[in-house]
Structure 1
Amino acid sequence: MTQDSFIPVIDLAPAREGDNALVGKQIHDAFVSSGFCYIKNHGISDECITELKKQALDFFHLPLSEKDRYRPKQAVRGFNALNRTIMYGADRPDYKEFYQIGPEFPPSSGQKPPQNELQGPNVWPEGRPAFRDAFLAYYKAVAECGQILLKAVANSLNLESNFFEKKYHYPLQRTQAIWYPPAEAAHEAESITYGVAPHTDYGCITLLWQDDTGGLEVQNLQNEWVSAVPIPGTLVINIGDLLCRWSNDRYRSNMHRVLNKSGKERFSIATFYDPDFGAVIDPRDLGLPETEASHYEPVTAGAYIMGRISESQKKKTL
């Protein structure tokens, strides 16, 4: 199986015009086989991406003592240093730094933000208004893309196009700017320095922009690692455990990893576009055939995601 057939490129333009049938069919085929696809014509401008990349790298290149001032205090927002996370089954933390934001509810909006472990005030570096502006601009643009994409996903599961909207009143959208410093460690099998160790994502859908460095790899049906090569003008899309559960295992939450062997830094922007904290994820909501029993008991999105996040941060240093 070639990389192109295993991780297909899907044109989102028809769905952006309200035609979800063709896109839904292609999404169905991709998520059944690999759980991954690329999308083009996603609607996020090059200028928006370039500005966030510039502002984020300026921040990541600061001394650690300066960046550490913005470590998360609540709601998993802010700067996360090297050795902050370790994936299940890994013997060492991920070799990456990332800065995470979530939804903001300014007083002028009249909205009362939900009170839970994943939603709260963002943390912003002092004296860097361009950093904040760039992050928020991308955050808004990728959310619009996520909304369109979910309508096509609903179509792919023979659901009403607004099915997911009912679960996304206050979505758990987390957007991360991720920096992978050059890794100098050897890459023998027993001593691999992972940017991100093999894992599945926690939530519903992930939308990833990656630079041209390469390093993202996806496990194919033969349990071999296939490179998700950077394709200009695209986002990499994959589903997580919650959508796998929701689909009653129709769709595949697939193992993937980042292995930066380039000898240079790598940068990406990952958005985890997930339902409300209290949204109930129940396969029976999808109208299972009478002959198909539910594989999972209902679970709330927030409880499941927080459980996975807590597990990944138990070991923070070597």
Structure 2
Amino acid sequence: MRLCDPPLADSYSEVCHKSSMPHGLDMQQEQDQELCYVAQCELPVVDLRGLRSLEEEERRACMEAIAEASAEWGFFQALNHGISSELLREMRSEQIKLFDLPFEKKLLNDSYRWGNPTAAAPRQFSWSEAFHFPLARISEDFKSGMFGVARAVAVAEELAGEMSELASRLAGVLAERLQGHSGQGFPEGCNKTTCFLRLNHYPACPLSADVFGLTPHTDSDFLTLLFQDHVGGLQLLKDSKFWVAVKPIPDALIVNIGDLFQAWSNDVYRSVEHKVMANAKMDRYSIAYFLCPSRESAIGSCKEPSSVYRKFTFGEFRRQVEEDVMITGQKVGLPRFRRLK
């Protein structure tokens, strides 16, 4: 009998067996353990009602708070974001039903992901499963798995639509703060065929407390919206010095900057490394929305021609990430695209 479904324990054991480091640890994990861990903390909290205010001063103060958090932390928690708690909780309920399906049935769906089949060391392994799909294919992808989960599809499509509007508005605010004029319509090339919704499940992990639910990474998009449950486990790397455990706030959305926004902002806004730690006793669920352009989209910079990054398309960026992961086992990301001095 498996310790969990999907068979993450079996897969993790195989990775540990292949690893040449004693006790399944490698150098990266040892370095990670040397970093100071702090108690749970609250990220900057921004009340987004200010964006809807008729008072210009209140609206400007809200925009400034969003920009400051994005520059200092790369993350913030958004309250009064306009997405109803009822919709978010219904999506959570439908999400749990989806992940409760038998592993063999979930495998029928092309959008289903679990563990990390390319992991060659414990630090590359993620103790999690997910449904990851472009917004335009939510209904089609679920039908391909013959799930018979019509309500889950309807709720996911409704939530994706509302998250799309919010992500676009926040991106416009951040662009406006740097450009000095309206950021409406920024970034270009983002639509239902390019943006993604991801339903995450982190099963309780019967192994070490050091196992990653999701390995350390930065997001390869412009902006991410995340709705997490009460369990916690999300940690971010503050000032490249120590990991901070993010304290969940009921009904809040976590907003974080992605690699593309850091490049476009010329390093004003920060795409910060983050991870999820597995929980020994409790399952964790989260819902993520990724604001992505088409692969043909040129990223550019608000500081041209003095950008610290060379020009590249999103497709080039993704190909380089995939190549690095295949060769080195980990993402390199933006440093590959810095201009040579």
- Per the normalisation by structure 1, the TM-score is 0.80
Residue 178 of structure 1, CA deviation: 0.2
Unpaired segments of 5 or more residues in structure 2? 1-37, 330-341
Q: Secondary structure at the match of 1:91?
A: helix
1:118-157 per-position Cα deviation (integer Å, ceiling 9, x unaligned): xx96443421111211111111111111122112112221
Aligned to 1:28: 67
For residues 175-186 of structure 1, what are the structure 2 equivalents within 5 Å?
A: 175-186=197-208
Aligned to 2:86: 47
- Per the normalisation by structure 2, the TM-score is 0.75
Q: Which has the higher helix share?
A: 2
Aligned AA (1:101): F
Aligned to 2:133: 101
Residue 169 of structure 1, CA deviation: 5.1
Say if 1:153 and 1:90 are closer, same or farther in 2 by CA, change over 3 A. farther
For residues 51-200 of structure 1, what are the structure 2 equivalents within 5 Å?
A: 51-70=90-109, 72=110, 78-84=111-117, 91-104=123-136, 122-124=141-143, 125-126=145-146, 127-162=148-183, 164-165=185-186, 167-168=188-189, 170=191, 172-187=194-209, 192-200=210-218
1:63-113 per-position Cα deviation (integer Å, ceiling 9, x unaligned): 11111111x2xxxxx1112335759x963321110012213289xxxxxxx
Which runs of at least 4 in structure 1 moved beyond 4 Å after TM superposition? 1-5, 17-20, 84-87, 309-315
Residue 174 of structure 1, CA deviation: 0.6
C-alpha distance in 1 between matches for 2:135 and 2:50 = 28
Aligned AA (1:232): P
Aligned to 1:229: 247
Unpaired segments of 5 or more residues in structure 1? 73-77, 107-119
1:191-242 per-position Cα deviation (integer Å, ceiling 9, x unaligned): x210111111111111000000000011112611111110012111110111
Task: Work out the percentage of aligned pairs sharing the same amino acid.
Answer: 27
Q: Conserved in 2, the CA contact under 8 Å of 1:36 and 1:238?
A: yes
For residues 237-252 of structure 1, what are the structure 2 equivalents within 5 Å?
A: 237-252=255-270
C-alpha distance in 2 between matches for 1:85 and 1:271 = 24
Q: Secondary structure at the match of 1:80?
A: strand
Max Rg structure: 2
Q: Conserved in 2, the CA contact under 8 Å of 1:209 and 1:235?
A: yes
RMSD between aligned alpha carbons?
2.9
Q: Conserved in 1, the CA contact under 8 Å of 2:76 and 2:254?
A: yes
Q: Secondary structure at the match of 1:257?
A: strand
Q: Secondary structure at the match of 1:282?
A: coil
1:18-75 per-position Cα deviation (integer Å, ceiling 9, x unaligned): 76522221122112211111111111111211121111111111111111111x2xxx
Aligned length: 285
Q: Conserved in 2, the CA contact under 8 Å of 1:207 and 1:270?
A: yes
